Amino acid sequence: MTKILSGYFDTTIGYKGESASYKRICESINLNPAEVLFLTDVETAKNALPSDSVIAIAKRLLIAESDGHLKVPFPLCLKF
């Protein structure tokens, strides 16, 4: 999968809950936010992303409802 990714980013670029982090990521790969698919395992990242960004959540963040069904806070990426 590495060959299809533009990069891996850790906290040296910023934290997932900070919008400036995503701006720096886009700048580092020379793309606009609307051209980037952000994959994350942190639900709060959704609020930090620019409004025209695309985000999918890693499979491990699933929230169980009391009735046993799963609630996913935003699109779920299961396959590539």
Q: Sketch out the chain's domains with CATH numbers.
A: 2-71 (3.40.50.1000)
pLDDT at 27: 93
pLDDT tier, 28 (very low <50, low <70, confident <90, very high otherwise): very high
Alpha carbon of 33 to those of 29, 53, 54, 61: distances in Å?
10, 5, 8, 23
Q: What is the pTM of this model?
A: 0.64
Each residue of 35-59: pLDDT tens digit?
A: 888 877 777 777 787 777 777 666 5
Q: CA-to-CA distance for 34 and 72, rounded, in angstroms?
A: 22
User: Could you give the angle at the alpha carbon of 68 between the alpha carbons of 65 and 73, nearest 5°?
Assistant: 40
| Whether the Cβ atoms of residue 49 and residue 18 lie closer than 8 Å to each other | no
Higher pLDDT, 39 or 12: 12
Tally of CB atoms within 10 A around 57: 21
Q: Residue 70 pLDDT more than 80?
A: no
Q: Residue 75 pLDDT more than 60?
A: yes
